[in-house]
């Protein structure tokens, strides 16, 4: 049986869901999105995703089509209608359909679509064995803090990593790691400092990143928010990445160099457990 998806106020079988070919999300990637993970049928870190969606829309001067309560109700309805236990809800807002033009159209009605994706979230190969990454130049645009659907550059980089027999690419600008193709990058130095890049327009302000910093600090673990070089990453004791779809996932190899003993490190494992237990308590 196919999924029930959401399109502009309606819940429809996925085969019946339609969006105009003039939609600016389709023609110009003029659209923003959020991905919220679902554990045991509950939404994880949802207030953070709502806040970031509002910020992305604001940065692009895009109308807010639904208020927070309506967005939450829609997420719950999709989880219920699809009997989703573990997986995620994807939501996208576009500026709407209009004649193709580089200027923003006046008065277009935003398009809102959302759908669920069921998948194992906790017991994954990445969590168990860690992932291997290569580094590549960050060829993306300059406003990575806005969560837009223009994902071709990270998609190309991820494909290059796959072709090299690895799992993902860490993107590099001016010698410093920005982030992974769809996740925030972290290292643990040999003297035990947990480091992740500070917030700016150069990276997406990860909701999982923010939660991990808060939970780590509450557990008396210190986090340094600063840029780190590729060399520092290759020389680290441990590394890991964070994303709504991957929680905290260990990185065990960078550019063919194994970190530590090549197995997920203790800090990454502890932070994953901490994140899961704390975010479960706050799940809605």
- Tell me the catalytic residues: 147
Widest distance between CA atoms in the chain: 57
Query: Which tokens in the block code for residue 47?
Result: 């207030």
Which pair of tokens denotes residue 27? Answer: 């023609």
The single residue among 242, 252, 259, 268 that binds ligand PLP, judged by CB under 6 A, is: 242
Lay out the site mask for ligand PLP across 166-205 (x = CB under 6 A, - = otherwise).
Answer: -------------x--xxx-------------------x-
Q: Work out whether 209 is an interface residue with ligand PLP (CB under 6 A).
A: yes
- Told to check if 108 binds ligand PLP by CB under 6 A, we report no
Our CB check for ligand PLP shows the closer of 209 and 272 to be: 209
Q: Positive or negative, the Cα torsion across 50, 55, 56, 61?
A: positive
With respect to ligand PLP, which residue has the nearer C-beta, 184 or 279? 184
Site residues for ligand PLP, 132-171, by CB under 6 A, read none
Q: In angstroms, give the least distance from the CB of 118 to ligand PLP.
A: 18
Residue 212 and residue 249: Cα distance in Å, rounded? Answer: 12
**82 or 181: CB nearest ligand PLP:** 181
User: Judged by CB, which is closer to ligand PLP: 82, or 242?
Assistant: 242
Among 39, 207, 259, 267, interactor with ligand PLP by CB under 6 A: 207
Judged by CB under 6 A, how many residues of this single chain contact ligand PLP? Answer: 13
Residues 28 to 47: which contact ligand PLP by CB under 6 A?
A: 35
**Closest CB 244 distance from ligand PLP, rounded Å:** 3
Q: How far is the CB of 153 from ligand PLP (least distance, A)?
A: 10
CB of 237 to ligand PLP, least distance (A): 22
Q: Which is nearer to ligand PLP, 97 or 182 (CB)?
A: 182
- Which residues sit at the interface with ligand PLP, rule CB under 6 A? 35, 179, 182-184, 204, 206-209, 242-244
């Amino acid at each position: 049986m196919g999924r029930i998806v959401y399109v502009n106020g309606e819940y429809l079988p996925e085969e019946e869901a339609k969006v105009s070919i003039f939609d600016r999300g389709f023609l110009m990637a003029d659209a923003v999105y959020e991905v919220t993970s679902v554990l045991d049928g509950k939404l994880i870190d949802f207030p953070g995703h709502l806040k970031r969606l509002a910020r992305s829309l604001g940065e692009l001067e895009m109308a807010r089509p639904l208020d927070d309560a309506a967005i939450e109700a829609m997420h719950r309805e999709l989880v219920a209608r699809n009997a989703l236990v573990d997986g995620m809800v994807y939501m996208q807002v576009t500026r709407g359909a209009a004649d193709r033009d580089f200027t923003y159209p006046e008065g277009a009605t935003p398009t809102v679509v959302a759908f669920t994706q069921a998948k194992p979230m906790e017991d994954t190969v990445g969590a168990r064995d860690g992932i291997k990454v290569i580094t590549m130049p960050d060829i993306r645009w300059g406003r990575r803090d806005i969560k837009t659907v223009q994902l071709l550059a990270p998609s190309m980089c991820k494909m290059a990593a796959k072709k090299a027999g690895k799992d993902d690419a860490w993107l590099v600008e001016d010698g410093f790691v920005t982030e992974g193709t769809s996740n925030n990058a972290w290292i643990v130095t040999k003297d035990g400092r947990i480091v992740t890049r500070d917030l700016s327009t150069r990276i997406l302000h990860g909701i999982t990143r923010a939660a991990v910093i808060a939970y780590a600090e509450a557990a008396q673990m210190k986090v340094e928010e600063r840029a780190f070089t590729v060399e520092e990453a290759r020389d680290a004791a441990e590394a890991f990445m964070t994303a709504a779809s991957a929680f905290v996932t260990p990185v065990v190899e960078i550019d063919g160099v194994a970190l530590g003993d090549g197995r997920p490190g203790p800090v990454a494992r502890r932070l994953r457990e901490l994140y899961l237990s704390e975010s479960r308590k706050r799940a809605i």
